[in-house]
Amino acid sequence: MTTPKQWQSYIETLRQRDRAEKEQVQRRYEHAWQLARQAAEVLRRDFGATRAVVFGSLLHPDSFGKYSDVDIAAWGVQPEDTLRAMNAVAKLDEQIVVNLVDVHACKPGIRRVIESEGVDV
């Protein structure tokens, strides 16, 4: 039978793991914002983007988790450069995926979300 002292040790271990995971997610969240700004810079500098907007889980810290990615939309990237731009931002980090959405080719529902909730970077 498990003693109260053993339960206390078990519970404390769970609390420590929970704190460590929350700290890890917070560091990931902060890094994701750095990546979003870096992606916006690459899109402006290398692909002529006139506007870059973050949307999705990065805007909702309570929903951002250890597997969350960065969703960014851009205006002003020429159609012939879109795939190269997508590739360029996707290569920015090995741990966090950066997804570029072409606002002119995405579904209307996604575009509405981008336009209503997106945050310029």
Q: pLDDT digits over 12-46, tens only?
A: 878 888 787 889 989 999 999 999 999 999 999 99
Distance in angstroms (rounded) separating the CA atoms of residues 37 and 87: 16
Helix, strand or coil, per DSSP, at residue 10: helix
CB contact at 8 A, 58 and 96: no
How far apart are alpha carbons 72 and 70 in whole angstroms?
6
CATH number of the domain to which 39 belongs: 3.30.460.10
The Cα 105–Cα 69 span in angstroms is 20
Confidence (pLDDT) at 7: 82
* β pairing state of 70-75 and 98-102: parallel
Closest residue by Cα to residue 104 from 81, 64, 67, 76: 76
> Contact at 8 Å (CB) between 58 and 64?
yes
pLDDT at 4: 81
What's the pLDDT tens digit per position in 70-80? 999 999 999 99
User: Does the structure show a pLDDT above 80 at 53?
Assistant: yes
Whole-prediction pTM value? 0.84
Question: How confident is the prediction for the chain on average, in pLDDT?
Answer: 93
Domain tally, the chain: 1
**Is 69 a residue whose pLDDT tops 90?**
yes
Domain with 53 in it = 4-120
pLDDT reported for residue 18: 79
Rounded CA-CA distance 89/40 in Å is: 9
Q: What is the pLDDT of residue 8?
A: 84
